Amino acid sequence: MGPLIFVLSVAFFIIFCVKVSTSKSQKTSTPTRDKKEKVEEVIFTVTTGRGGFYGTPHYSEDFINKKHCSLAKKRAPTINENISAPVIFLQNKEWILTLRMTESRSIGFKRTLTIIKKLPSYKEYVAEEIKNFEVTFKKENLHDFKKIYDEVKNLKGTQIFINGDLIEKTELSKLLRCAVDRSLANEDFCYGVSRWTLNPFGCHRIKTRLIGENAWYKYAYLQDGIVYIDKKKILQNLTMDLKKYRYCPYLDIKGVWNNFLMLPDIISLEDENFAVILTLDGKLDILNRWDLNYLGYTTYQELKENYGDRLLSKK
């Protein structure tokens, strides 16, 4: 009888440990997006080759059927590479942020719970034997959410989801700083609030600017006497910059794409709005009217006197 009791005790102990381990793994797992949620995928595909450069947005079939966009194709100069680099963004019809907390003894938790219980979206429920307190926000209430989040962001058991995706707190902090400022401004905010953040795309977190040192026209190369804009490089930079802010409620990814397509493919040496210059090390430098004024140039003759034959522009 003694050995039998011992064996049964060991068996029950093993079952108990497995159950606890499984329960913990379920509690810490990242929730998946609700299957009922309608999500529209926007895929940027960059393809270069001997046939030229093409950037084509591909949308979900449902998105196309509702005519929310027009598929545009733009041809630019030939690049001697053959690369296909898709980048996927999710364009949701409605932006929903969810704050989820578990019970805590801290004063911040109790104070926050008192506030969110008054909100219409508040709910509480038990999952895996843990009580959860949850409230949702739309982009119109982003400022209210930030006030609440500042109270509980460092509390253990606090989680933030945007459209069902668990968001890291460091990523959320960057997003909030920009999005809250935008919520207190207007749509022009996204095109820049100073000359340092002016951009032609519609997101001032994009590092490719409208003017200045990192302007879009700096991505250019000279071939057979023609100045081509390296739109492949610009698009790659756009997608990398936007990945960090892909959950921004104000990011209009279709608008960014359309603005990208509007950039010219070439800059004429006859264009009075630009000065095309060869640097001393043989590289290409391009200045627009704002750059020229900033550097103190007012006439073509002044440029010619300073740069001589390195000034490629004709006027």
For residue 88, is it within any domain?
yes
Same domain for 208 and 247, yes or no, is yes
Percent of the chain with pLDDT strictly greater than 70:
70
Same domain for 197 and 87, yes or no, is yes
Q: What's the pLDDT tens digit per position in 280-294?
A: 887 888 888 888 888
Q: Report which of residues 296 and 40 the model is more confident about.
A: 296
C-alpha distances out from residue 263 to 218, 233, 236, 266, Å: 12, 13, 15, 9
Q: What's the pLDDT tens digit per position in 195-244?
A: 788 899 999 889 999 888 888 988 988 888 889 999 999 998 988 888 88
Q: What is the pTM of this model?
A: 0.66
Same domain for 54 and 72, yes or no, is yes
Same domain for 135 and 148, yes or no, is yes
Same domain for 232 and 214, yes or no, is yes
C-alpha distances out from residue 12 to 17, 18, 286, Å: 9, 10, 76
For residue 190, is it within any domain?
yes
Same domain for 102 and 43, yes or no, is no
188 φ, ψ to 5°? -65, -20
Q: What's the pLDDT tens digit per position in 104-136?
A: 888 888 888 999 999 999 999 999 899 999 999
- The number of folded domains in the chain is 3
Same domain for 68 and 202, yes or no, is yes
CATH code for the domain of 124: 3.30.70
Cα 109 from Cα 106, distance rounded (Å): 5
Give the per-residue pLDDT at 161.
Answer: 95
Same domain for 190 and 259, yes or no, is yes
Domain extent at residue 300: 268-310
Same domain for 200 and 239, yes or no, is yes
Give the per-residue pLDDT at 50.
Answer: 24
Same domain for 84 and 147, yes or no, is no
- DSSP bridge partners of 276: 286
